[in-house]
Amino acid sequence: MTDDFDSSRLDRYIKRIYGKRIPQSVIEKALRNKDILVNGQKAKSSDPITANDEIFVHPSTCKMFANIYCNEPERREIDYSKFIEQFKSMIVYEDTDIIIINKPSGLASQLGSKTNLSVDVMAKVYNENARLVHRIDKETSGITVLSKNIETSRYMLYLFQKKLIQKKYLAIVVGKLDMVNGKITKPLLKNKEKVVVDFENGKNAITEFRVLKHLGKNRTLIEATPLTGRTHQIRVHMASIECPIVGDKKYNGPKCEKLCLHAHEISFTSRDNRKIHQKVNPPKYFCLL
């Protein structure tokens, strides 16, 4: 998972995602009303959370947070039902428990102070019980999983915590990598808006990768497998070996219209003991580089 929190208090996460102006009293009221849930359960503002936790914020609460952040008494009401066909077009797999979509780059996973459209609100129009069970960065494209009931949410959380879900990413990086396979083991630490390698205070982070193809213009197509779920893990790890991902403005990647990082494969065992294995092809701009 690639999320903007790691072992943080719940209220601090809310303020980091939705804006520092959100009053503590507003967060406390939302928690009392169960408009904010952690893993489907009522939570306290002081509860610690990790990247494996499912944080649900009711769409109306997201809107209220955005109004506070923007200091606007009212914001234009958005009819999310008009996006239902767009959401349907992203679905690559669905059964009675889960929905797997191919999220485009530029679409956020969750509503925030600067986001009016996201996967979670689009999914709610399609299925009112849909919940994100993991998130990928807004700029990252590819596989995103939603549950259709609370039992599956808890089950998927268990799989993530026990590292029983395998996810693979495609990335175009700078340089012509000589090795066929590589492994980066560097601890990572969230530092304001960025993540940095920090051997003293950072948290364990491991990324394996293999070279798929050498491209022109000193570029290499790789497949990366994060064995841990730190924020921006693949992006920071590749930049740390002087092979930043193309289009990654935050971590010194060369300019490109889109971030060339794509979650292309996922494998896990379903709640009813079926093997789920899905792949989605990278966007067209991968083929143009």
Catalytic residue numbers? 137
Cα(142)–Cα(169) distance, integer angstroms: 8
Distance of alpha carbon 202 from alpha carbon 207, whole angstroms: 15
Give the tokens for residue 107: 């679409």
244: which DSSP letter?
P
Backbone torsions φ then ψ of 270, nearest 5 degrees: -70, 170
> Would you say 55 and 18 are in contact if contact means Cβ atoms under 8 Å apart?
no
Would you say 234 and 161 are in contact if contact means Cβ atoms under 8 Å apart? no
Question: How many Cβ atoms sit within 10 Å of the Cβ of residue 76?
Answer: 6
Q: What is the CA radius of gyration of the chain?
A: 19
242 vs 66, 115, 169, 191, 261, CA distance in Å?
Answer: 37, 32, 19, 20, 16
SS3 at position 215: strand
Instruction: Name beta bridge partners: 132.
Output: 146
